[in-house]
Structure 1
């Protein structure tokens, strides 16, 4: 790509109000800014204030645009991200998010970006961008195999109807995937969020997640996917057939490229954690974290805790919850495991923890950002899924033996402390789990190679530069 000033871009980015979405958007923004382009990163004030600090070298290239979230009845004050709310109250956050349409339009009118990149939620944004003549793209933080679950939008695929109407229908791969695959939900996984994403029981005025995603996919000019040809080439090709528009993989966005190790802002948290990790044997610690979206029940927490206790392994458990959640661990658990285990109830520098040589496995919810971080540092995964694409991610990891799924009841998803203990020991210690430990080492190049990631960024920028004068028109 030419490096003349005329090729420099101004890209506006607008993620959904969840940190599992905002962080990948920010990673892409950093990688693009490192190439000399300008980014306007748009979100709400409190969310922007909670994002990781930028490296000084990028502070003049990435500009944070704060759009105050309009008040909505039943939405608590200062609730600006999904982590600030119980799961059942997230629809109110979506209502407030939709209220950003007018202030966002005003910003776009005055700033005239070359491209607008957005998430699944603002179904109203592609027509707005087209009316302003701004080329636009949907950036899927989900893998290509997960995104392929969405029904085709291409007119060439109009003969294929999506007749899935019940949770049971999603326990089989969709009929538009033409090759053998195992990527479908288990019934307990889809039942946890089926109503929320399909809009069952919603007021008719509140668009479902499925509707939002379908509208964004149908009307955007291009689709960017957090994926790579090294991992899922057939799904990237399939997405082009399904939607008949450019499909551009961004690479896996591994954390080693984002200057985490050069940040000092987390030093206060990291120092005591590092001191504890330094005392543990290499490859012995089970790191436990389920992200900001997971919402385990009291019963699930009890089995996880007692399973960790039964395993006999040292563990470091980051236990953070959504606002409104009350989580109690079993009586005496922390006293009985004191010294061998740590329950950490505030933010922790996950990347630094995973990079520490004492960590031998990661008990995770299979959120893709956590998966990428784990494999980058060659940490095998023990998987316990809760919501959304996590079940599909677990199928990918299970198939490639990068992660072991804790056995659960197929119908209600219950699991036992014994299955937790046995799964953790298998992956971290036992000979039968050596395949998981070996395979994550083999995959390090796919996830953590700076040259591979840099190539994906160059390909993305080449597309953006080549098409920055694209004249958008409203689509039917």
Structure 2
């Protein structure tokens, strides 16, 4: 385990941040840490050496979920449990005592509400997929917070013991329940902090506070840097000047709002069949596209190709497939990008909404279907049609959804709604107010 501390002036808070070992968690945790440190607080960011290394190192061990196939993540949880002793020693040795150890889920607040506290699940037991295909009884208002039958298996599995020896739900409940205790009389958990805001999830924070019987506080969207401020992530030439990534230079040559940016995150369970149907759907839609394609973790180099034969040649005049790094925030904010085809991870959704572009949505697991359903309800995006039984999709469904957002009249309504929400989310005063509430 490695620690980094951002020390600041005397009299501030002393905060320890220990995120789950997934980049979708570590990045917003780091952003929260930076915001608090900038306000004069001392923040210790705790993770593994591999995750803290800049530039990243490549030891034989795995340091995050992006290094593993989904079936191995339970083992990573078991390994993370092994950090309990070193973390406790670090907290005990911290000078002055750590007064705040916030619980900071990087997911939307609606997921925590849907999962619910232990007492609510005891009162309303849910064990089978069909139990999760309806809004929980403890949500007292109309809500899209439910899973379709084909989406519900992952949450059913969360209630079952995994390779770590503990179920994900019991792990989550223990974090919340044990946080009620004061440890060594020096630190305690006061609140649940979510990377979200009232504008994105109205009514959820009051309900979350009631359910878990402790304050639920929105921290704002915590967007990592504004476009134009991310040059430190670009490679430098031998002369020391910044080299603009090739994908952004390709976007520079496209017409405004003419490109759909396609990115399904670093851990989407994308099969070769999925990738083929997605590719052929983009081809059928006839639109310009930039596709950030990442090969699934745990696959070998001789696996079946993820793209159909001849696809890149047939679409080279209007599309680019990039298997390397793509600066997503900047790609989304580029004037040529008019739509985002996304898996609806919470971080990617926030980045897209902050750029004011509508969504074509292809959710897979965890909170992604809940986020997609909420964006449809707000009139910001369209989901790709899926088979009700197994969740599969085909090229025709992809093409229909893409054209509905990018070509048909309905897309203009979606774009207008996305721009309206953008105006609220990028209001710096509002976002700073949320950090004020976290400090309080």
Question: Is the pair's TM-score, using the shorter chain for normalization, greater than 0.5?
Answer: yes
Deviations 1:61-92 (A, max 9, x none): xxxxx9xxxxxxxxx93211101011001111
Between the two proteins, the alignment pairs up a number of residues equal to 412
Deviation at 1:229, TM superposition (A): 1.7
Residue 172 of structure 1 is matched in structure 2 by: 134
Residue 131 of structure 1 is matched in structure 2 by: none
Query: What is the correspondence of 1:94-109 to structure 2 with a 5 Å cutoff?
Result: 94-109=77-92
Query: What is the correspondence of 1:71-150 to structure 2 with a 5 Å cutoff?
Result: 77-112=60-95, 115=98, 134-150=99-115
Deviation at 1:219, TM superposition (A): 2.7
Residue 239 of structure 2 is matched in structure 1 by: none
Name the CA distance, whole Å, in 2 between partners of 1:159 and 1:387.
Answer: 21
Given that residues 114 and 135 in structure 1 are in contact (C-alpha distance below 8 angstroms), is that contact kept between their aligned partners in structure 2? no
Residue 283 of structure 2 is matched in structure 1 by: 309
Structure 1 alignment gaps of length 5 or more: 53-65, 67-75, 116-133, 463-476
Name the CA distance, whole Å, in 1 between partners of 2:426 and 2:123.
Answer: 39
Deviations 1:322-352 (A, max 9, x none): 3322452111111111131111111211011
Residue 14 of structure 1 is matched in structure 2 by: 18
SS of the residue aligned with 1:138? Answer: coil
Name the CA distance, whole Å, in 1 between partners of 2:47 and 2:9.
Answer: 28
1:333 aligns with 2:311: yes
Query: What is the correspondence of 1:45-444 to structure 2 with a 5 Å cutoff?
Result: 45-49=49-53, 77-112=60-95, 115=98, 134-153=99-118, 161-191=123-153, 193-194=154-155, 196-199=157-160, 202=162, 206-220=165-179, 221=189, 222-256=191-225, 261-267=229-235, 270-325=244-299, 326=303, 327-444=305-422
Deviation at 1:414, TM superposition (A): 1.4
Name the CA distance, whole Å, in 1 between partners of 2:177 and 2:106.
Answer: 17
Deviates more, 1:143-152 or 1:435-444: 143-152
Deviation at 1:114, TM superposition (A): 5.3
Cα distance change on mapping 1:108 and 1:148 into 2, 3 Å: same
Given that residues 287 and 317 in structure 1 are in contact (C-alpha distance below 8 angstroms), is that contact kept between their aligned partners in structure 2? yes
Given that residues 260 and 351 in structure 1 are in contact (C-alpha distance below 8 angstroms), is that contact kept between their aligned partners in structure 2? no
Residue 120 of structure 1 is matched in structure 2 by: none
Name the CA distance, whole Å, in 2 between partners of 1:395 and 1:353.
Answer: 24
Name the CA distance, whole Å, in 2 between partners of 1:433 and 1:38.
Answer: 46
Q: What TM-score results when the alignment is normalised by the length of structure 2?
A: 0.88
Q: What TM-score results when the alignment is normalised by the length of structure 1?
A: 0.82
Given that residues 91 and 97 in structure 2 are in contact (C-alpha distance below 8 angstroms), is that contact kept between their aligned partners in structure 1? no
Deviations 1:365-403 (A, max 9, x none): 001111111111111111001111101111111110111
Higher relative contact order structure (alpha carbons within 8 Å, sequence separation ≥ 6): 1
Name the CA distance, whole Å, in 1 between partners of 2:295 and 2:171.
Answer: 27
SS of the residue aligned with 2:115? Answer: coil
Deviation at 1:270, TM superposition (A): 4.1
Q: Give the alignment's Cα RMSD to 1 decimal.
A: 2.3
Name the CA distance, whole Å, in 2 between partners of 1:436 and 1:371.
Answer: 15
